C-alpha cells in the first residue's frame, strides 16, 4: 500500500519534500521518473539507472500489453522481476499513447478501438481492460484510463474528454483488484481553469490515493502551463502525492515544483541522449555541433556521473560521427544523472525556499531550452 509523508515545505510557497513509501521501496519527492516504456530505460541497464539516483521508473500499458503481453509478464512474476528492477514502478494506463495515434483510433464512451502500431490489428482498450492489464503487470502505482485531448483543443472537445475521464476513473476504481497497487486519478481539462477544477473535484469525490495532472506540455506556452498548475494544485489534497505527467524541461520542472507538484516523468533524458543532446546546468551540449570536436573536457565539469569522470566531449562526438552505440549510451547516462542531481538539489533547497541558489547553480532552469533541431547535422 501507498504511504505519503510531507517532510518539509517552502516557508513562503507551495513547494514541498516528502517520502512516498510503496511495496518495492521509498521514493524521495520531488521525484523524476526515468521512462522505461517497454520495460527498459533505453540503452542502459537497471543498475546504471539506480546509480543515477532514481528511486522509481515508469512503464507503459499500451506498449507492454502489445509486446510482450501482460499475461507473459504476469507468468514471469510481474514487471519488476521481468525487467530486473527491484524498486518501485509506475505504469501509465496507455491513454496518452492511444489518443496521440488519432489516425489509428476510434473513441467511444466504452474506450478506444485502435490499430496496433506493430501489426495493424484492431485492439480495444478501455477503463476495465487498462486496469486489469496493469493489475497483471504489477506496478506499485497504476493510472486510471483517461482521455487526453489535443493541445489547444476547443472547449467542447475538452469538456467531452473531462466527462469520459471522470466516468472512466470510476470504472477503473470499480474493477481495480489489487490492494498492493495504488490507483491514481488523472485530472484533465486542458487550459480551461473551470474544467480542471470541476474534474479535480469529481475525482476527489470518487477518491484516489494520489492525483495526476495530465494534458499539459502538449503545445501550450510555458506560462499557460504554470497558470493552470498554480490554479489547480491548491485544490488537490495536501496529504496525497501530486504527479505532473510528461513534463521534463528544467524550467518546467522548477515551476511545477514551486506550484506543489511531487512527481514527474519524461522521455527527454533518454530520447535526447540518443540524439546527441546532453543536459547541463548551464544549457545544452549538442554534439552535432562542430565546436565540440577538439574539446578535451567532460560534458559537464561538475558532474560526478561515470561519463563525465572518464570521457571527453571530443570522444563522445566521435562516437556519434562513427555511429557507435556507445555514444547514445554515454549521453543517456549523463542525462539520467543530470535530472537526478537537479531533483536532489531541489529537495535540499525547498525547506529554505532558496530559489536564488537553485537558479545560480542551474541557470538552465530560468530559461527555455529547446530540443535538438533538424538542421544540426553531424559533421
Read off the C-alpha cell for 54.
532514481
Asked if 338 contacts 282 with a C-beta cutoff of 8 angstroms, the reply is no
Catalytic hit among 140, 146, 262, 265: 265
Query: For residue 201, which of 225, 227, 165, 176 has the smallest C-alpha distance?
Result: 165
Gyration radius (Cα) of the chain, Å: 20
- 8 Å CB contact between 98 and 105: yes
At 21 the three-state DSSP class reads: strand
Give yes or no for a contact between 184 and 209, defined as CB atoms under 8 angstroms apart. Answer: yes
154 among known catalytic residues: no
In the set 55, 92, 146, 262, the catalytic residue is 92
DSSP 96-162: HHHHH-GGGEEEETTEEEEE-TTT--EEEE-HHHHHHHHHHHT-SEEE-----PPTT--HHHHHHHH
Whole-angstrom distance, CA of residue 94 vs CA of residue 88: 19
Alpha-carbon gap, residue 1 to 133, rounded angstroms: 19
Task: Say if residues 30 and 257 touch (Cβ distance below 8 Å).
Answer: yes
Please state whether the peptide bond connecting residue 68 to the residue before it is cis, i.e. omega within 30 degrees of 0.
yes
* Buried/exposed code over 292-321 (b: 16+ C-beta within 10 A; e: otherwise): beeeeebbbeebebebbeebbbeebbebbe
Give the Cα separation of 283 and 114 in Å (integer): 39
Q: Of 127, 118, 51, 37, whose CA–CA distance to 79 is shortest?
A: 37
Catalytic residues: 92, 265
Amino acid at each position: 500500500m501507498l504511504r505519503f509523508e510531507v517532510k518539509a515545505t517552502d516557508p513562503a510557497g507551495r513547494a514541498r519534500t516528502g517520502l512516498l513509501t510503496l511495496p518495492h521501496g521509498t521514493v524521495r519527492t520531488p521525484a523524476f521518473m526515468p521512462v522505461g516504456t517497454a520495460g527498459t530505460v533505453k540503452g542502459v541497464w537497471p543498475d546504471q539507472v539506480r546509480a543515477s539516483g532514481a528511486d522509481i521508473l515508469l512503464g507503459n500499458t499500451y506498449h507492454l500489453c502489445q509486446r510482450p503481453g501482460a499475461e507473459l509478464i504476469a507468468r514471469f512474476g510481474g514487471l519488476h522481476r521481468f525487467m530486473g528492477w527491484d524498486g518501485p514502478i509506475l505504469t501509465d494506463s496507455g491513454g496518452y499513447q492511444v489518443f496521440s495515434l488519432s489516425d489509428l483510433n476510434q473513441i467511444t464512451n466504452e474506450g478506444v478501438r485502435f490499430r496496433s502500431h506493430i501489426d495493424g490489428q484492431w485492439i480495444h482498450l478501455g477503463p476495465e481492460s487498462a486496469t486489469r492489464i496493469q493489475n497483471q503487470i504489477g506496478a506499485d502505482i497504476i493510472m486510471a484510463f483517461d482521455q487526453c485531448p489535443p493541445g489547444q483543443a476547443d472547449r467542447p472537445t475538452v469538456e467531452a474528454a473531462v466527462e469520459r475521464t471522470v466516468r472512466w476513473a470510476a470504472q477503473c476504481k470499480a474493477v481495480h483488484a489489487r490492494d498492493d497497487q495504488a490507483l491514481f486519478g488523472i485530472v484533465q481539462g486542458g487550459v480551461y481553469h473551470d474544467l480542471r477544477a470541476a474534474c479535480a473535484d469529481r475525482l476527489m469525490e470518487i477518491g484516489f490515493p494520489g492525483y495526476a495532472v495530465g494534458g499539459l506540455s502538449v503545445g501550450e506556452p510555458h506560462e499557460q502551463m504554470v497558470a493552470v498548475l498554480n490554479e489547480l494544485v491548491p485544490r488537490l489534497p495536501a496529504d496525497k502525492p501530486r504527479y505532473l505527467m510528461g513534463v521534463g524541461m528544467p524550467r518546467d520542472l522548477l515551476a511545477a515544483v514551486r506550484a506543489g507538484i511531487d512527481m514527474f516523468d519524461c522521455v527527454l533524458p533518454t530520447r535526447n541522449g540518443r540524439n546527441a543532446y546532453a543536459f547541463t546546468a548551464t544549457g545544452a551540449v549538442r554534439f552535432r555541433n562542430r565546436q565540440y570536436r577538439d574539446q578535451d573536457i567532460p560534458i559537464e565539469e561538475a558532474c560526478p556521473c561515470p561519463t563525465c569522470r572518464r570521457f571527453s566531449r571530443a570522444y563522445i562526438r566521435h562516437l556519434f560521427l562513427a555511429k557507435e552505440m556507445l555514444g547514445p549510451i554515454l549521453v543517456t547516462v549523463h542525462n539520467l544523472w543530470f535530472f537526478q542531481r537537479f531533483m536532489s538539489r531541489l529537495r535540499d533547497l525547498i525547506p529554505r525556499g532558496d530559489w536564488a541558489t537553485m537558479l545560480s547553480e542551474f541557470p538552465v532552469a530560468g530559461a527555455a531550452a529547446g530540443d535538438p533541431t533538424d538542421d544540426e547535422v553531424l559533421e
